[in-house]
Structure 1
Amino acid sequence: MSRIAVAMTPQRAADVCGPDARRLIETRYEATWAGDRLSADDVAALAADCDVLLTSWGTPHLDASIWTDGRGPKVVAHAAGSVKKLLDREVLDQDVAVFSAAGRIAWSVGEYCLAAMLTLARRLPRFDAAVRGGGWKQTGFRGGELAGRPVGILGASSTARALITLLRPFGCDVVVYDPYLGEERAAALGVRTAGLEETLRCPFVSLHVPDLPETRGLVSRALIERMPDHTIVVNSSRGPAVDQTALLEHVLAGRLLAALDVFDPEPPVLDAAVLGCPDLLLSPHIAGDTVDGHLALAGYVLADVADWLDKGARGPSFVDPAAWPTAA
């Protein structure tokens, strides 16, 4: 029987290990569960005596020395998102298979983006404020629809692909800007590719880019100024990708609408005008954070780990070393 070490506190395990994952752990593996104390030394000790290391948020960085002289687990399964803070790229060269639940979190993010688009398109915050203020039908404004409209997506990441799937019933013309997305892959996704400026001319724009030097300031003030009136901008990726000051200026002026789940910096410092703006949805970096989504994370990666151990199959949560430079 393979050995698995669950390198997360009991509180985190309760958050990311649903009943199905726990049954899989207890029936398939000889399991060791970490306690409340979880230092780097504790994790190193757990890793030294297991075949599979299950990690999540709060797991200390895995030092490459864990794998010295052929020691250490052959599989790291991360029941969370990016693994870039968990381990160094060189670990993937040590015949170690790494899995990440980023793809499952992506679905939660996709739902957030869809909800934000619909909420702002229908002007629900404005209608809510009108009713709370004693108003009724004669509000002086009217909502719009998402169905059949062009949607511009920046970055063809896993969160973008989740949103593209969710948009299919709406019959949207989905336009994607991503220098790494080829025409064949775009066709398979049911989208078309375009340049950055054309993508930003869509009435709905959603950002799905990692935080890399080339993505910082991607949506500049000049590009924001050329976006059509009433464009709805959703940013659930990284705050530095957008000129936040310019975007907020145009939202406050009534020209654009925006849903911001990420900021630059975090947490943001926002003035009263921004906080009271009805054309702005604000959330504290929680697009991927849902009860259902978190409970599914361990099961998501462990299902692929089982396929890897049994058949050598690379499931959707497998971290491809070749994709490391552009991964979130």
Structure 2
Amino acid sequence: MAEKLRIVLAATPSYREMVFAPESVARLEALGEVVVLDDPGDAGALCAALPGTGVLITSWGATPLTADVLDHADQLRLVAHSASSVKHFVTDEMFRRGLRITQAGQAMAEPVAEVSLAFTLSLLHRIQRFDHGMHAGRWRDPVPPQHGLTASRIGVVGASRTGAEYIRMLVALGAEVVAYDPYLSDEGAAGLGVRRCDLDELLRSSRVVALHAPTLPETHQLIGARELALMPDGAALVNTARSWLVDMDALLDELRSGRLDAALDVFDEEPLPADSPFRGLSNVLLTPHQAAATVECYFGMGAITADEIERYAAGQPLRYELSEAALARMG
């Protein structure tokens, strides 16, 4: 029988309840001893728990794994992040010490893509404008022309995990899709059923532009005043990724003019201030950074985490392992 693992799970009680369904907990306990830390940000408690630990499960608010922390990790081989982005706690020291890292962000791809699709349909049919007007007591406010999905070109900026899932949904519904992603090959684009193009062409030719790019230095305000000006009158922007990608002041200027519509789940300041001018615009659909927040998504993160640790224990390849090079391209 394989040697039992010591697994440290550093997550708040509410997070554990939300992410780790009973069956996922049972899978972890079948692999060995599971030690629970209620405060993922308590470096002292983590250091005390690490000796003899083979697997560390991290969560939101994880302690940065610095050299000082890792000096206590005499047997640690795998860090399994039970959420998406690992950049807030991963350090170069982890790679220098040969630690393996995996994460559960794939569980978020489908719900975020679904919200992006819902946003896309709403923008094409001007539902957000009609909704604002109806709530204000009006009937059939004049709006820009409405369009159907299959008659529209949709531009996707970023075609990795969530972008690819969004593309899959669009293509299945019969939309024409173009994509801009420096890492997408012609072969990869063909596999997704899309055409690659440069960013300017995408902006000029798309009725809806959806952002799914990572948060990297080169993507900061990728969509600024110049880029927004390229979009045709009546076009729309979807952002369920990060506000980092957009010059929000320039976007506000365009939205105030009424020339463009937008659907936004992410903002420079969160929570969005009560007096934010975005709140008063009838051509904007707003949600409070909740695109991934389905019950199925959260339990999926726990299931992926358990699956990856089972694979590790069995000596099988991990499905979602992160290399240092791949991490550099992720948001």
Q: TM-score, normalised by structure 1?
A: 0.91
Amino acid at match of 2:287: S
Number of residues of Structure 1 aligned to a counterpart in Structure 2: 326
Counterpart for residue 255 of structure 2: 251
CA separation of 1:186/1:305 partners in 2, compared to 1, >3 Å: closer, same or farther? farther
Amino acid at match of 1:308: Y
Amino acid at match of 1:179: P
Counterpart for residue 224 of structure 1: 228
> Deviation per CA, 1:126-166, whole angstroms, max 9, x where unpaired?
33334444555x55446322224211111223121121122
> Deviation per CA, 1:52-93, whole angstroms, max 9, x where unpaired?
111110222222334449714211111111111122033023
1:128 correspondence with 2:150: no
> Deviation per CA, 1:86-113, whole angstroms, max 9, x where unpaired?
2203302322211111221222211111
Selected match of 2:68 from 65, 68, 75: 65
1:237 correspondence with 2:241: yes
Whether contact under 8 Å (1:153, 1:207) holds in the other structure is yes
Whether contact under 8 Å (1:101, 1:297) holds in the other structure is yes
1:158 correspondence with 2:150: no
User: Which region of structure 1 is more displaced relative to structure 2, 97-106 or 301-310?
Assistant: 301-310
Whole-Å separation in 1 of the counterparts to 2:40 and 2:192? 44
User: Pairwise mapping of residues 78-227 of structure 1 onto structure 2 (< 5 A)?
Assistant: 78-136=81-139, 139-141=141-143, 143-201=146-204, 202-227=206-231
Counterpart for residue 307 of structure 2: 303
Amino acid at match of 1:275: R
Whether contact under 8 Å (2:52, 2:73) holds in the other structure is no
CA separation of 1:311/1:72 partners in 2, compared to 1, >3 Å: closer, same or farther? closer
SS, match of residue 32 in structure 1 = strand
Moved >6 Å (runs of 4+):
none
Q: TM-score, normalised by structure 2?
A: 0.90
Unaligned stretches of 5+ residues in structure 1: none
| CA drift at 1:280 | 0.3
CA separation of 1:186/1:311 partners in 2, compared to 1, >3 Å: closer, same or farther? farther
SS, match of residue 296 in structure 1 = helix
Counterpart for residue 261 of structure 1: 265
Whole-Å separation in 1 of the counterparts to 2:249 and 2:150? 30
1:56 correspondence with 2:59: yes
User: Which region of structure 1 is more displaced relative to structure 2, 147-156 or 110-119?
Assistant: 147-156
Amino acid at match of 2:309: V
1:15 correspondence with 2:15: no
Whether contact under 8 Å (1:239, 1:265) holds in the other structure is no
Amino acid at match of 1:293: C
Whether contact under 8 Å (2:133, 2:282) holds in the other structure is no
> Deviation per CA, 1:198-229, whole angstroms, max 9, x where unpaired?
11121111111222221112112112112101
Unaligned stretches of 5+ residues in structure 2: none
Whole-Å separation in 1 of the counterparts to 2:34 and 2:98? 22
CA separation of 1:37/1:84 partners in 2, compared to 1, >3 Å: closer, same or farther? closer
1:76 correspondence with 2:88: no
Whole-Å separation in 2 of the counterparts to 1:38 and 1:177? 37
CA separation of 1:119/1:19 partners in 2, compared to 1, >3 Å: closer, same or farther? farther
Whether contact under 8 Å (2:40, 2:59) holds in the other structure is no
Amino acid at match of 1:320: S
Whole-Å separation in 2 of the counterparts to 1:33 and 1:265? 33
